[in-house]
Structure 1
Amino acid sequence: MKEEQPLGGKIFTPTFLFCLLLLIISLFFLAKRFMYGLGAVTNMSDGYPWGIWIAFDVVVGTAFGCGGYAMALLIYIFNKGEYHPLIRPALMTSLFGYSLAGLAVFIDVGRYWQIYNIFLPWYLNPNSVLLEVAICIGAYVVVLWIEFTPTFLIKLGADNAKKSLEKIMFVFIALGILLPTMHQSSLGTMMIVAGSKLSPLWWTGLLPLLFLISCIFMGYAIVIFEASISSQRFKIADESRILSKLSGIFPYMIAIYLVIRFADVAIRGHLGLAFRGDLMGNMFLLENLLLLIPMGILFMPANRNNARMLFLSAISIILAGTLYRFNCYLIGFDPGGGWKYFPAAGEILITVGIVSIEIMAFLWFIKRLPIFHRA
């Protein structure tokens, strides 16, 4: 198979310029946030100390960034080397998802100038789940940049440096599998602490397991989504056979997830809440319907060989995973005391700016770095 190559082409396309415009608009609100504090641009409060910067940019964003983790499990743990052509684009997506999640945390922290305290031993709280999440995500961002460094070295023609790094790369690959396993499950553990403030439709002692399983199938879905979009827009090698085979994992993984999900709610005696017709019940049903539909579709081999059905199924799985995490952190969360939350315009636009950075970086990386196999 051919080596990965830069796709070339103009950087300042209409898509890139539109994202740049959105980023510039978001910078106004970002400046306002750092000059006047969180209250100037957000609707966060004592009842809702986190908003979409955590729920979407971090909790959902890192799940989007689990493509590299999910592919590493297949390739390096289950020895499925046939999927190796997908690893570098998946790793790039992970790099963006986690790096920008780190940026979102910096923006979200009230006293951002003291964020370094997280890493000072005398300030550590070893009983804090949030500490484990912060340290693991921070360490994983570093690991991702190291894992991606060979791509930069190829671009620079530094073959000797690349060979030297590859001799110890197995250490970072191992860390790249361990760290997401720890912090993705811990993102679920964080909401166990919420107790009765989280609706029984989502609160369970199994939250760490459900978060871990969902991040893996979201990672695979992102890989398929990215490859499908890129193959339509750019001249890259046809990977439909590999994607078709990869999608065969979905029905079984989703089935396991849904059995655990519904059995848990039913055993705890709260399944009736899903059919009350209120917002939480409807969101629970929608979240799981978005998984049931692609599961049924992808159980049939013919649909897995259909690029359109595969693409739509991946979108549905991504939406389901996104909604599940939103439900856990925002929609199903009620702090009591009459507190309500809906993101302010500034919060939304800063998030849009972060997403715009990711899209612009994606376009620059694939056009200037050896990411994809060219057709």
Structure 2
Amino acid sequence: MSALAHRPLGGRILTKPVFILGFFVLLGAYFIARRFIFGLGDVSHMSNGYPLGVWVAIDVVVGTAFGCGGYAMALLIYIFNRNTYHPLMRPALLGGVFGYTLAGLAVMIDLGRYWNAFNLLMPWYAQLNSVIFEVALCVMAYTTVLWIEFWPVFLERMPPAFKQRFNLEKFQAFLKRYMFVFIGLGVLLPTMHQSSLGSVLLVMGSKLSPLWYTAWLPLLFLISALTMGYSVVLLESTLVSRAFRLPSESALLTPLSRIVAGLLALFLLIRFGALLAGGHLNLVFAGDRLSSLFLIETALFLAPLFILASPGGRGSQRWRFLAAVSLLAGGSLYRINAYLMAVDPGNGWVYFPSAPELMITVGVVCLEIMLYLFFIKTLPILHGSANQSHGRLL
């Protein structure tokens, strides 16, 4: 494991896709500035009935699930001792760093009285009976842990003279010696807050449709986070290898796909079992808006299950890619539905995101993609000789 070599991908930084992404980042930054200058009402359609809008539902609830690639791979490599997957660890960790950091940015944009955010760290303001308080602390702690886990990448890139001048060699030795502590926290903390994202919905009671409401929500959210994390690894590896004409990592991705299929089957079994046990299975075919959303979700989950469960499907790069896209779409829709679409707060409250709200979310996503491209080109993220590019550079 220690002998695994990583090198920067190299290539031009300022390319046409980067300029396109940068335009949307600047557009999102403009609306973020308006939000902080003129308040939430200037850019958002959130209300007392719908206090959680797309910034939470997409940027946080979905975004952190997309950022669970590092968590999912750490669980597989360090807990279940599957070291053969270690070449996939750093790209997955990088996705986690950006997924959680930018989710934190979205929370700061979403907070009404954002200047009081530091109160979260004050013991006398602690709400020990609040699930959201636990989620906030865990996400904050895990984001810190992710950056600490990622620090060896920066240290490897620094010239020896620079590290010696600022005495960073001791810090590097410290990280190497005690990294197991941060890896342990990096497995514990997402397990806690991803399941707690499901627990948050339990307090909604009858406001959440029975098609989504179940006592098994914490477990369902945890399993969905793992499946989405592994799917991000499949998607990222395929996109990078195709975009930069790198050798395929099918030898690792094919057995990983079998793990994804198993988790997905478990998710569907628990979900339909909960519906059957609660006597709500008939709602699946009610023919209304919610049943249609449920059936779309289910189709998006079943398609990758059949693909990845078959040897031909998981062994094909194209089919793996399509399965990952479908699973991520299904997981995203599941979480958006549970937090927004399937919620009825009563009293005639309605919610549809404003254009500025959506543009801020688009800007955050584009910023993540830009930073990802910049990091893999300038830092030792990709492993071995696989990062010798012979094609176009994004």
Structure 2 CA distance for aligned equivalents of residues 87 and 163 of structure 1: 20
Q: Which amino acid aligns with 1:208?
A: P
**Aligned equivalents of 1:281, 1:337: Cα separation in 2:** 22
Q: Given that residues 19 and 357 in structure 1 are in contact (C-alpha distance below 8 angstroms), is that contact kept between their aligned partners in structure 2? A: yes
Residues 65-93 of structure 1, C-alpha deviation per residue, up to 9 Å, x if partnerless? 00000001100111000000000000000
Deviations 1:94-135 (A, max 9, x none): 000000000000000000011001110111111000000000
Which stretch shows the higher mean deviation, 102-111 or 281-290?
Answer: 281-290
**Percent identity at matched positions?**
53
What's 2:391 paired with? Answer: none
Q: Does 1:146 align with 2:156?
A: no
**Root-mean-square deviation over aligned CA pairs:** 1.1
The question of whether the paired residues in 2 share the 8 Å contact of 1:51 and 1:330 is answered with yes
Question: Deviation at 1:163?
Answer: 2.9
1:11-90 equivalences in 2 (<5 Å): 11-90=13-92
Note if 1:193 corresponds to 2:203. yes
Q: Could you tell me how far 1:317 is from its partner in structure 2?
A: 0.7
Equivalent residue number for residue 314 of structure 2: 304
How far apart are residue 296 of structure 1 and its match?
1.1
d(CA) in 1 for partners of 2:29, 2:265: 43
Q: Tell me which residue corresponds to 1:238.
A: 248
TM-score, length of structure 2 as denominator length: 0.93
Distance 2:69 2:247 in 1: 19
The one-letter amino acid of 1:129's match is V
Q: In structure 1, which of residues 164, 167, 184 is the aligned counterpart of residue 194 of structure 2?
A: 184
The aligned length equals: 375
Q: Is 2:331 the partner of 1:329?
A: no
CA distance in structure 1 between the aligned counterparts of 2:4 and 2:249, rounded to whole angstroms: 13
What is the distance in 1 between the residues matched to 2:303 and 2:249?
24
For residues 219-267 of structure 1, give each alpha carbon's deviation from its aligned partner in whole angstroms, at most 9, with x where no partner exists: 0000000000000011444311101111011222111111110010111
CA distance in 1, matches of 2:374, 2:348: 46
Shift of 1:279: 1.2
Q: With the length of structure 1 as denominator, give the TM-score of the two structures.
A: 0.98
Matched, 1:207 2:217: yes
- The answer as to 2:191 corresponding to 1:156 is no
8 Å CA contact retained: 1:7, 1:235: no
- 2:264 maps to 1:254: yes
Q: CA deviation at 1:303?
A: 1.5
Counterpart Cα distance in 2 of 1:137 and 1:87: 20
**Alignment of structure 1 residues 106-185 onto 2, 5 Å:** 106-157=108-159, 158=163, 160=169, 161-185=171-195
Tell me, in whole angstroms, the C-alpha distance in 2 between the residues paired with 1:193 and 1:262. Answer: 21
Does the 8 A contact of 2:7 with 2:382 survive in 1?
Answer: yes
**Offset, 1:366:** 0.5
Q: Conserved in 2, the CA contact under 8 Å of 1:254 and 1:295? A: yes
For residues 62 and 268 of structure 2, the distance between their equivalents in structure 1, rounded to whole angstroms, comes to 19
SS of 1:168's equivalent in the other structure is helix
Deviations 1:27-85 (A, max 9, x none): 22111111111011000001000100000000000000000000011001110000000
- Please give the alpha-carbon distance, in whole angstroms, between the structure 2 residues aligned to 1:133 and 1:278: 33
Q: Distance in 2 between matches of 1:162 and 1:342?
A: 49
What is residue 96 of structure 1 aligned with on the other side? Answer: 98
Q: Which of these residues, 10, 22, 26, is aligned with residue 12 of structure 2?
A: 10
Give per-residue Cα distances to partners, 1:319-372, cap 9 Å, x unaligned.
111011011000111101110111001100011110111011011101000011
* Equivalent residue letter for 1:15: P
| Matched-pair contact (CA < 8 Å) for 2:74–2:89 | yes
Deviation at 1:8, TM superposition (A): 0.8
Q: Give the aligned partner of residue 292 of structure 2.
A: 282
Offset at residue 164 of structure 1 (A): 2.8
C-alpha distance in structure 2 between counterparts of 1:162 and 1:245, whole Å: 33
